[in-house]
Amino acid sequence: MRLRVYYEDTDCGGIVYHANYFKYCERARSEVFFKAHLIPQDQEHAFVIQSLQAQFGAPAMLGDSLEVQTQLLALKKVSVSLQQEIFKITSQKPELLFSMQIKIGFIHLPTKTATRIPPHFVRLLHGLQ
């Protein structure tokens, strides 16, 4: 997913606020579903974050063009692990600014218990390999 850094994404120095990297990755994960004309939840089920590990490299700045890449690391019955990286798009080689590994689980909302990821979501997530 490509995006541009706007003023609202930055601090007073024009540097992207650290929490926005997580938002960009969340948008990219959601976009995978939206492009397939799906929503990543229903009235009784949703994905929730179980854990994440993030590494910040160089900062993104106001006006930068960014690309978020998402890759499947592991897909289990009730969880999925992903690698997400944010690159600054330049005229030379893209520059890695941020990376994280995230594990998300699929839960039944009324009981807040883990439940099997539906087959149509499994097929979609396999496409991230």
Give the active site residues. 11
Task: Report how far residue 19's alpha carbon sits from residue 26's, in angstroms, rounded to the nearest whole number.
Answer: 11
Contact of 68 with 28, CB cutoff 8 Å = yes
Q: Cα(first)–Cα(last) distance of the chain, in Å?
A: 16
Q: Is 30 helix (H, G, I), strand (E, B) or coil?
A: helix
Q: What share of the chain is helix, strand, coil (3-state, %, to 5)?
A: 20, 45, 35
- The rounded radius of gyration (Å) of the Cα atoms in the chain is 16
Instruction: Count CB atoms within 10 A of the CB of residue 24.
Output: 20
